[in-house]
């Protein structure tokens, strides 16, 4: 991204991704990510913690894959850009928020393992399925537990 607006966060999903579709049929998913920070206070030598919460939105196949593959508690790495969105509420008051528009959403492998299931290539007309067997009900990854593995969907080779 040459515009200098690039952000990367690693944290845990605060809620299941919510998948919706625009009137034209474009998929969009939104979810929250909690990022914990821990540091040692130099004066007291005590450990301190803070948590930041970010709203994330993704589009198209990334939105569908994210909603199908990830659930609340899953540890993820999100890269994208910061966007400001404005609207008027029902009382006519102007509201705005800053959210991350994701280019990539990936599971963190720091404390979990995973199995990759590639999507079938979609035709330019939008046809195609979710997996080699067309099954769109793949298991969702939940909170990382050292010995459990989730299934995550990728559109192309991750390496």
159 located within any domain: no
| pLDDT for residue 2 | 56
**67, pLDDT greater than 90:** yes
Range of the domain at 97: 7-154
**150, pLDDT greater than 90:** no
Give 114 or 94, the one with higher predicted confidence. Answer: 94
How many Å apart are CA 83 and CA 5, to the nearest integer? 9
Q: In total, how many domains does the chain have?
A: 1
- The model's pTM is 0.71
CATH number at residue 45: 2.40.50.140
11 located within any domain: yes
Residues 98-136: pLDDT tens digits?
Answer: 999 999 999 999 988 888 888 887 655 544 443 333 334
Mean pLDDT of 54-60: 97
Mean pLDDT of 41-58: 94
1 located within any domain: no
96 located within any domain: yes
125 located within any domain: yes
19 located within any domain: yes
């Amino acid at each position: 991204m040459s515009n200098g607006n690039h952000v990367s966060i690693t944290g845990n999903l605060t809620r299941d991704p919510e998948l919706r579709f625009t009137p034209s049929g474009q998929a969009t998913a939104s979810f929250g990510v909690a990022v914990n920070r821990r540091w040692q206070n130099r004066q007291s030598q005590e450990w301190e913690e803070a948590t930041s919460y970010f709203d994330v939105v993704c589009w198209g196949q990334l939105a569908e894959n994210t909603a199908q593959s990830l659930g609340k508690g899953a540890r993820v790495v999100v890269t994208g850009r910061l966007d400001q969105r404005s609207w008027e509420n029902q009382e006519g008051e102007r509201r705005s928020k800053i959210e991350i528009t994701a280019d990539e959403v990936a599971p963190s492998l720091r404390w979990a393992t995973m199995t990759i299931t590639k999507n079938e290539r979609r035709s330019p007309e939008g046809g195609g399925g979710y997996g080699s067997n067309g099954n769109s009900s793949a298991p969702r990854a939940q909170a990382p537990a050292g010995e459990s593995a989730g299934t995550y969907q990728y559109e192309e080779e991750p390496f």
